[in-house]
Structure 1
């Protein structure tokens, strides 16, 4: 078997909970450091204060009868309270299913029902969709907590202040970190509709340890605009920064002026971005109005990132700035590859090296033959398969999808086509999977196709990703109108927009006579992409 092993030094993965790994060895000096800053209000929370709040939330949740075996949904943007509640829930032994802050009510209902969540924690700006979504899943009013709620904002709901005021100590729970699920984020995998990705405490702990190669340290200031509900934000920003005692500055959404203001005011040093933010840093004239000289590193993930864009970022922020790229999937907690901070010899257009303790295979998707890592030069392209301590247990309640993704030997199909060179540097060259990546967000074509087919005037539909400089890709729909019906592009786009999160909107429509399909009925997306 042609297994490619990580060339980075081996690491030990302790058998401990996420809380124990992140905070178990914290020193008195570290407790007095600032852990989180609210980028909007400027309010600061020290590690000491944060951990007291985490304990209080764990106690309050346990007193309400939630613990090991229970699922709680967390539906919020990046605010300091997210850090408190997320880790309070984990400390209580609860499994957290993170809900996209942009999710529509039907999407929330679907996730709550699928995950079996019995409590949902949200914020007042998202209460419209949150409340409707929770109600659709059969949750009563007392099963909804509004973090920033009060008698004026969200009367009748418990708030974070209520939880923190309750005099319950953190519960003493025990579980096996290797099997107990810490989080249930939702991902479309290589195809199909969103599925609950079962990640254990050991998965998350392993990936923080593996991500240390990124180079974040205690003197770093990390603006957090990439959402914590997304696995990239959860592991690489939130947990990695907490473990290394870096300072987190939270921002609830991306606004370029606000983001640049935070970089300037807090002397931000390490920027974690998706390509659209990198593009703004490289090209937007607003950047020149701010002092960004404190930045020492930029790491891009969540979608492909080219060497030209990396160089444009360096040209703008300064040649001394390290521009890195990483690669991963929700199913790998998420990081499997990264350009280590000290490897200035690796092109930022690649995804770098396998992280510590990771193994990979490259397989020809047409023949199933394994492709060898060459002694010199670059290998032929093939699908990347990965194995390591950060790889998920499987998809919740979906043994078929799990079996399609995870091989019996533990290797996981990524659906991405890569090459590897003699030094173990990987480059993503194509995508086998059908997923569209809009600004780093996953958009499953199958989900949009099912929605389009529910329109009475549409007889068939197919969706592909269209390359777009700013977004990476945008969803384009090919629509076959029903016999005798007339439809406009705007009608189709509005129909979809009413029912999905903003990033899933169809942004281009083309009417066609028939959707090209294989003999087995599979949509031939390559034919649609190749069409003039």
Structure 2
């Protein structure tokens, strides 16, 4: 039995993302600040942003980039990211954004797979970008270093050429706008084909629930990740907000920039929530301007979220999505204080979902009261990808009957439409036939005052049984022991969910978007076995 968003459908214009975001700019709005560089305070107005976007588009066209070509963007969060990203799309090209943490081999693979003809990067990332480009056969003249480096064109060089902006006509429903790379439900990264309509749709679907209006938004979550690309970059620009950029996360800089620039909305992943709830440095800064802390990319524990809300005296919300859904499919609206914070809220407008029993393939019924049985979450709507680039097999595994996308996540739905993510289908630990969700144990561990961070995976014990093992980061100067961790969990969970082993780490490995890299923990476990 499928269920829809409880909210009415929204109108989705049939237009390019550029026209949708910037086509209605007024003369007064051109003077508003679009970006503020957090470290330096330098301001880029909307008028300057439009000029830069058009300049980048013209320079690319002058270099032979045509509609349908792929251009790579490899950069941390700096104001120039917005100019180049939308300049690529303005030229009718497709932007493939590359993780700023990627190695040369990773970069080469994405350049080769996407068939990128051009690469933008920054000088701190140039060594790996150059090596990756060389592996992929991309010539030096096809590389632009935004902030300049000898032997390469800079963004300033492109803008001072004053090349005319190309006239481009596209079909928003068919024309690929972006090609982010995602591992999907499993396997190596794959190019996610998202059209202009996909991006426009998701801005329309998610914007109102996030409060709408103009805000000063701290932008530390990477723009190269779909969360930052849509929820920060595109929604903020549509609302004429100001994006205050940070190229990397540093807690003291995060707090300073938020305080000095009086940011009103802060978008984070759960690891930052841990710091906001527990780190003593938070009390040294005036964060009274913050109205909303919004978490995504990984599950946020309700107790942790409430601790942040109380400490900062602000609203805390979370949402859910995937690159394959542009990405937002569910979120807790800012005006719904009654929705449990450990849920991901409601399905966004224009979407339909269902839960499917992963064992039987049968649909799970939405209950008349209470909460449903858990099942794999399937979603469909105008924000769903076209498929994976050049990978028909993976596309067929993910995009299934009637246009539904299999998320690979286990969820429940309440009678009033509130969705909660239980765990990843591939990450459930099977102990003596019982399913143990790692996220549940991780949330519990984070409630311990001496635990700064934690992750849980399944490992094989001496009897050949898969058991939960916790990787724990202790608070500074804590003497917490393995047995104390085991006893803490055992007092609060069913017997089959007990943590059976503990290892202490300096840091839990995570992606740039804040997701726990369980594969790294499994590799560590295999190496020590």
- Quickly name the TM-score band, shorter chain normalised: 0.7 to 0.9
Residue 38 of structure 2 corresponds to: 39
Q: Find the aligned partners of 1:306 and 1:513 in 2 and give their Cα distance.
A: 30
Render the CA deviation track for 1:138-180: whole Å, top value 9, x for unaligned. Answer: 011111111001xxxx211111001100121211101101011
Note if 1:243 corresponds to 2:257: no
> Residues 62-77 of structure 1 correspond to what in structure 2 (within 5 A)?
62-77=61-76
Note if 1:354 corresponds to 2:347: yes
1:344 positional shift: 1.2
Note if 1:406 corresponds to 2:403: no
Instruction: Pick which of 60-69 and 223-232 moved more.
Output: 60-69
Residue 185 of structure 1 corresponds to: 180
1:9 positional shift: 1.9
Q: Find the aligned partners of 1:25 and 1:192 in 2 and give their Cα distance.
A: 42
Going from structure 1 to structure 2, the CA distance change for 1:215 and 1:430 (only over 3 Å counts) comes to closer
Residue 530 of structure 1 corresponds to: none
1:215 positional shift: 2.6
Of 215, 220, 233, 1:220 maps to 215
Render the CA deviation track for 1:308-350: whole Å, top value 9, x for unaligned. Answer: 11111112111xx111110000000000000111111101110
> Residues 15-414 of structure 1 correspond to what in structure 2 (within 5 A)?
15-149=14-148, 154-318=149-313, 321-414=314-407
Going from structure 1 to structure 2, the CA distance change for 1:365 and 1:432 (only over 3 Å counts) comes to same
1:435 positional shift: 10
TM-score by length of 2: 0.83
The answer to whether the 8 Å contact 2:221/2:513 transfers is no
Q: Find the aligned partners of 1:110 and 1:28 in 2 and give their Cα distance.
A: 43
1:250 positional shift: 0.4
> Residues 345-494 of structure 1 correspond to what in structure 2 (within 5 A)?
345-434=338-427, 467=442, 469=446, 473=455
Residue 525 of structure 1 corresponds to: none
The answer to whether the 8 Å contact 1:275/1:472 transfers is no
Q: CA RMSD in A?
A: 2.5
1:72 partner SS: strand
1:506 positional shift: 3.1
Going from structure 1 to structure 2, the CA distance change for 1:397 and 1:474 (only over 3 Å counts) comes to farther
The answer to whether the 8 Å contact 1:180/1:200 transfers is yes
Going from structure 1 to structure 2, the CA distance change for 1:34 and 1:94 (only over 3 Å counts) comes to same
1:510 positional shift: 3.2
Going from structure 1 to structure 2, the CA distance change for 1:399 and 1:389 (only over 3 Å counts) comes to same
The answer to whether the 8 Å contact 1:478/1:511 transfers is no
The answer to whether the 8 Å contact 1:34/1:47 transfers is yes
What residue ranges of structure 1 are gaps of 5+ in the alignment?
Answer: 437-463, 480-492, 515-532
Note if 1:510 corresponds to 2:525: yes
Q: Find the aligned partners of 1:255 and 1:476 in 2 and give their Cα distance.
A: 31
Going from structure 1 to structure 2, the CA distance change for 1:476 and 1:51 (only over 3 Å counts) comes to farther
Residue 488 of structure 1 corresponds to: none
Q: Find the aligned partners of 2:290 and 2:214 in 1 and give their Cα distance.
A: 12
Q: Find the aligned partners of 1:476 and 1:123 in 2 and give their Cα distance.
A: 39
Q: Find the aligned partners of 2:180 and 2:460 in 1 and give their Cα distance.
A: 30
Q: Find the aligned partners of 1:84 and 1:124 in 2 and give their Cα distance.
A: 17
Q: Find the aligned partners of 2:166 and 2:111 in 1 and give their Cα distance.
A: 25
1:510 partner SS: helix
The answer to whether the 8 Å contact 1:207/1:334 transfers is yes
What residue ranges of structure 2 are gaps of 5+ in the alignment?
Answer: 430-437, 447-451, 462-504
1:218 positional shift: 3.7
Going from structure 1 to structure 2, the CA distance change for 1:477 and 1:93 (only over 3 Å counts) comes to farther
The answer to whether the 8 Å contact 1:357/1:389 transfers is yes
The answer to whether the 8 Å contact 1:474/1:506 transfers is no
> Residues 8-19 of structure 1 correspond to what in structure 2 (within 5 A)?
8-19=7-18
TM-score by length of 1: 0.83
Q: Find the aligned partners of 1:512 and 1:43 in 2 and give their Cα distance.
A: 47
The answer to whether the 8 Å contact 2:76/2:222 transfers is yes
Q: Find the aligned partners of 2:221 and 2:356 in 1 and give their Cα distance.
A: 32
1:471 positional shift: 5.7
Q: Find the aligned partners of 2:16 and 2:460 in 1 and give their Cα distance.
A: 47
1:429 positional shift: 1.1
Residue 443 of structure 1 corresponds to: none
Instruction: Pick which of 84-93 and 465-474 moved more.
Output: 465-474
1:213 positional shift: 2.9
1:433 positional shift: 3.0
Q: Find the aligned partners of 1:112 and 1:167 in 2 and give their Cα distance.
A: 28
Q: Find the aligned partners of 1:511 and 1:263 in 2 and give their Cα distance.
A: 41
Q: Find the aligned partners of 2:417 and 2:113 in 1 and give their Cα distance.
A: 39
1:217 positional shift: 3.7
The answer to whether the 8 Å contact 2:222/2:513 transfers is no
1:30 positional shift: 1.0
